[in-house]
Structure 1
C-alpha cells in the first residue's frame, strides 16, 4: 500500500507505574497479523479506553499500546473473500484496543471474525456515536424486549444515565415508547437527561436503599443498570413481579449484597450483558436495529466530536467523571 505510516495515540510504560500518552507516527508493518486492514475514519472514547490509557493491566497487559475499542472505517486490504477494499465496516469489542492495537490509530489490522459490514441506514460517523457503549445499550434493550418487558408494563429505570451506555439506553427506550426514569449522576444533569428522553429523573440517593430490607415497594417494570453496586441491589429489590433487570457495568462496585427473595417471590430476572464477545449473528442483528427502528433521530445532544490531538484531555475528563454522553473521535486530519 502507498501509505506506510499513520497517526496513532501511543501509551508507554515509563517505569514506577507511570505511563505517558502521545500522538506518534506508526508504521502499518507494526500492526498485528490479521485478515483485514482498515483505514479508521472514526473512533469513540469509552471508559475501558481510559483505563487502558493509564496502564490498567486488567485491560491491557503489555505496553507500548494504542487503545481504542471502537473503530469505523474503510477496508484497505483483505485476505478473505468476505471483505474487499472500499467496504465500509465497523469493528468493536473482542480484543480490539485491549491487547490488539486499537481504534485510536488511523489503521487497524484484525481478524475477519471481528468485522461487521456497515449496515444501510448508518454512516461511519453515526456508527461511532453508538460504538461499544451504544451497542451495549441496544443489546440491553433487546434483552428487555426479549423477556417481555413492553412499554405498557410500566416505568424502566436506567442507572448511569449520563454515561455512554446510559445515555444511549435512555434515548432508544424513550424513542420506541417506554417511560424512562433516569438516575442522575454525581453532578446535576437533569436538563440533559430530559432532553435525551427521560420522563423522570431521580438522584443517586433516591435510587439507593439504606434500610437493608429484603424487598422494597415495586417501582420498575425493568431496568438497564450500568453501574452495579448498591443501585443495582436496590433496583432488583424494587422491580415488579416478572420484571427484568439487565446489568452491564460495575463502576460503583462489583459487589452485590443481595438475598434471593426478589427472584423466588417476584420472579425477577437478572440478565448479564456481555457485549465484548457477543456472537456475530446477534451482533449483526443489533447493529441492524441501531441502523433501523432504534436509530436515534436527534443524536446531537448525546455527542461531542474531537480530533485525535484533543483525545488526551478528554481521557482525563472521563477519568474524573466529567464527561456525559458520547465522545466521537475524528481520525482524519
Structure 2
C-alpha cells in the first residue's frame, strides 16, 4: 500500500480531496510503473484537485499533471528498472491518473529520460510550467528573436511559467520586462533577472487604437485576454508573442492590424502533445539555459497533504514561483 491524493465527487456534485492509501492493483493498466519522487502544482492541477474544470473524466481520481521518479517495472524495452524518468502532458492527471501518488503507471510513450545534470527534484522545480517556458523561448528564437532587438516582455511574470521564462531569458542575455499585479514580487523578479517591472494595470486596460509604439522584441504571455490584445499592438515589426495561458481570459479582443501592418507573429505553445524529439530538445535546453540557483530561488516545498490548499491558492493567483511536492514527505 502507498499514499496518493484522491479526489472524489459526492452525490451533490461537490469534489473533495484527501490523502488515502491505495495499492498497485488500483493503478491503471499501462507498460511502465514508476516510483514517483516529486511532482509540482500547476493551474490545471488546481482545477483537478478542486472543481475539475471539465478536465477530469472519472472519479475517484489522482491528479498531478507531471512527475519525476524511478522506473520500478517496465514492459517496454525503452525503459528498465532503475531508470530516472520525467513525465509532463499527455492529459496525465486530467483524463488519466497522475503524479500525486507514491507510484504511477503510465504509457512508455509518455515518458522521457531524465536529462543528465538534472535531479528529479530539479526536474519538478521546472515541471510543466518550466517546460512550457522553455518551449516558448525556443519558439521565439526559432522565429528570429535576438538579444539586440530590444526588451522581451513576460506577462504573469511571478507565476510558474513566467518565473522560469524570466530566468531563462535573462541568462541568455535578453533584457527582460516582467509584468506583475503583485508589487511585493518586484525583488523576487529582479532576482530572477528582470531589469524592468511593468505594473499589470499599465497593460490590463484595452484601448481603441489597434497599434501603439513599437516597444517589445518578443513576449511570453501567460495572461491572454485584453492584455494580450494590448501587447500585440506594442510589438516591434516582425516580432513574436508566445501565447501559453489564459489567466486573464480566453477571448482576444483585437484586430488583424498588427499582423498585417507589422508582421507580428502569435505563436501558440502547447506542452501537452509535444512530440518526443522536441521534448528532449526542450529538456536539454533547460539543463544549459536555466541557472539552477535561480531555479532554487523559485521553489517552495510541499507534501501530498498540502495539495488541497495549494490547489485552491493557485486558482486565486496566490502561488509564487514553483511548488515542488515531495510525494514521500
Name which of 10, 14, 18 aligns with 2:10.
14
Question: Does residue 1:28 correspond to 2:24, yes or no?
Answer: yes
CA shift in 2, pair 1:294/1:301, >3 Å:
closer
Name which of 159, 166, 169 aligns with 2:162.
166
Q: Distance in 2 between matches of 1:16 and 1:23?
A: 21
Describe the superposition over 1:202-242 as per-residue Cα deviations: whole angstroms up to 9, x where unpaired: 11111234431011111100100001001100111000001
Question: Is the CA contact (8 Å cut-off) linking 2:181 and 2:201 kept in structure 1?
Answer: no
Aligned to 1:88: 84
CA shift in 2, pair 1:330/1:233, >3 Å:
same
Runs of 4+ in 1 over 6 A off after TM superposition: none
Describe the superposition over 1:49-83 as per-residue Cα deviations: whole angstroms up to 9, x where unpaired: 01011132421121110100011000000001100
Aligned to 1:237: 233
Residue 107 of structure 1: how far off its partner (Å): 0.8
Describe the superposition over 1:170-222 as per-residue Cα deviations: whole angstroms up to 9, x where unpaired: 01100110000000124542111111111000111112344310111111001
Q: Distance in 1 between matches of 2:251 and 2:191?
A: 32
Q: Distance in 2 between matches of 1:36 and 1:107?
A: 10
SS of the counterpart of 1:301?
Answer: helix
Aligned to 2:114: 118
The Cα RMSD (Å) is 1.2
Q: Distance in 2 between matches of 1:160 and 1:178?
A: 18
Aligned to 2:313: 317
- What is the TM-score of this pair, normalised by structure 1? 0.96
Describe the superposition over 1:21-58 as per-residue Cα deviations: whole angstroms up to 9, x where unpaired: 11000111111111110000000011100101113242
Question: Is the CA contact (8 Å cut-off) linking 1:72 and 1:90 kept in structure 2?
Answer: yes
Aligned to 2:152: 156
Aligned to 2:248: 252
CA shift in 2, pair 1:203/1:150, >3 Å:
same
Structure 1 or 2: more helix by fraction: 2
Question: Does residue 1:139 correspond to 2:135, yes or no?
Answer: yes
Q: Out of 302-311 and 268-277, give the one that drifted further.
A: 302-311
Aligned to 1:191: 187
Q: Distance in 2 between matches of 1:164 and 1:293?
A: 17
Aligned to 1:328: 324
Q: Distance in 2 between matches of 1:187 and 1:30?
A: 46
Corresponding pairs, count:
329
Question: Is the CA contact (8 Å cut-off) linking 2:50 and 2:311 kept in structure 1?
Answer: no
Residue 18 of structure 1: how far off its partner (Å): 1.0
Q: Distance in 2 between matches of 1:182 and 1:57?
A: 28
Q: Structure 1: state its 5+ residue gaps.
A: none
Q: Distance in 2 between matches of 1:125 and 1:252?
A: 30
Larger RCO (CA within 8 A; separation ≥ 6): 2
SS of the counterpart of 1:15?
Answer: coil
Describe the superposition over 1:286-322 as per-residue Cα deviations: whole angstroms up to 9, x where unpaired: 0111122334443222110112222222222222221
Q: Distance in 2 between matches of 1:295 and 1:131?
A: 15
Question: Does residue 1:201 correspond to 2:197, yes or no?
Answer: yes
Question: Does residue 1:272 correspond to 2:268, yes or no?
Answer: yes
Q: Distance in 1 between matches of 2:290 and 2:100?
A: 27
SS of the counterpart of 2:86?
Answer: strand
Aligned to 1:53: 49
Question: Is the CA contact (8 Å cut-off) linking 2:214 and 2:234 kept in structure 1?
Answer: yes
